[in-house]
Chain A
């Protein structure tokens, strides 16, 4: 077992600058009041916020617009795959929920059936340095999703903020390379483990959610949703994309662009038929994808409880509340079933 190492807060800049000599270092910056990752620059004010980093780390592994192949008129439009970037990179300040999101993306993009080579290279070149949360911010609900705010699972290096220093610990072999810094001093004591309050809303099981497919509750749950796509764009585990060609002045690129099941165009087919025409069916798809389909396919529910969807929703719709309302309905249904021994007619 490797030890926890101490880094004085006043040494942070030197520590990062030294890392930046070898790695491309990404840390959180505040831009127009919102946190996002940016490449470390010594003269820019940065910090590791307790609140979630608004623009999710999804962008760093699977950007919104991503060229996958290029072609040119001169070469008779023959396609060249886009070369992967292999510059070593550190992303520092990820929260446990972000890392859970990355673990989920791995399952989608790196499974043996379909491998996304560009995603793979982004993952390979990146050392994940995660921060153990010491408090839960406003919209955080990871504890509802079976995560612990100070769990280091999946991180290459974990660190915690303590008084006027940080405590770092290498978790994997890749992580240990970072730990070699002269600014880190080994200490014995681990950061204090906190006791976290239990989740606020009890969530039903994936199988129970699947049973709700034909329930009429979806109309109620989707009543004011605009079915814009912003919650899915903000979500760290929404990974749908469309593939399209873009051309300009004799040059072309085949790109993947984020898509969203909340948009009407997502499920429209050639000929105009739409399998998810109503907002209710689209809201159902997103909800069940988060709580059930993901689990059935990859063994992990894909809501990490980061709360980004609540923050960005123009109508302040609360996804955790929606999940809770649904679970409540599941319980009610069960009760009435147990009582009458049959499916109630109303359902």
Chain B
């Protein structure tokens, strides 16, 4: 039962920085909550907001996206595009009723294993606080 209440988080991470950062968090044995499921993408510029929408509709409690710091994108400008897209997608999601605390967008480099662990813990904590509020958008049944 306890486990049911734990928030589920989808983290979409760019391969070159943030995913490597998550890796580093693992190899350096930093503790971070097990609530996070990671999806690796080649670049934060690959993150289509439809992925974020789908995650909420399929019942994730929170979505996190992270890429290389501005200026460090492996492909030059992917993260600048991502920043704009995410900014707009976030406004739309908030507008239809997703709580702002359910989304987290940030930059984590390959060296920032510690930051990754911290961000995950903070985000999980935030979502735990939201556990009493309605999980909007999330579907309940197959037929709905």
Contact = CB atoms under 8 A, between A and B. Distances in A.
A253 B143 CA distance: 9
Contacts of B58: 248
A67 B143 CA distance: 9
B4 to A, nearest CB: 13
B141 interface: yes
Contact of B139 (A65, A67, A248, A253): A248
Contacts of A87: none
B142 interface: yes
Contacts of B142: 246-249, 251-253
A248 B141 CA distance: 7
Contacts of A67: 143
Contacts of A253: 142-143
A346 to B, nearest CB: 49
Interface in A221-247: 246-247
Contacts of A248: 58, 139, 141-142
A253 B58 CA distance: 16
A247 B142 CA distance: 7
Nearest to A65: B143
Interface in A20-74: 65, 67
Interface in B123-144: 139, 141-143
A278 to B, nearest CB: 29
A74 to B, nearest CB: 15
Nearest to B142: A248
Contacts of B59: 249
Interface in A249-274: 249, 251-253
A140 to B, nearest CB: 35
A67 B59 CA distance: 22
Contacts of A251: 142
A17 B141 CA distance: 33
A264 B142 CA distance: 27
Nearest to B139: A248
A251 B139 CA distance: 13
A145 to B, nearest CB: 36
Contacts of A65: 143
Contacts of A247: 142
A246 B141 CA distance: 11
A251 B142 CA distance: 7
A246 B142 CA distance: 7
Contacts of A249: 59, 142
A249 B143 CA distance: 12
Contacts of B139: 248
Q: Which 6 A-B pairs have the closest CB atoms?
A: A248-B142, A251-B142, A253-B142, A246-B142, A248-B139, A248-B141
Given A249-B59, A253-B143, 9 more contacts: A65-B143, A67-B143, A246-B142, A248-B139, A248-B141, A248-B142, A249-B142, A251-B142, A252-B142
Interface of B: 58-59, 139, 141-143
Interface of A: 65, 67, 246-249, 251-253
14 contacts: A65-B143, A67-B143, A246-B142, A247-B142, A248-B58, A248-B139, A248-B141, A248-B142, A249-B59, A249-B142, A251-B142, A252-B142, A253-B142, A253-B143
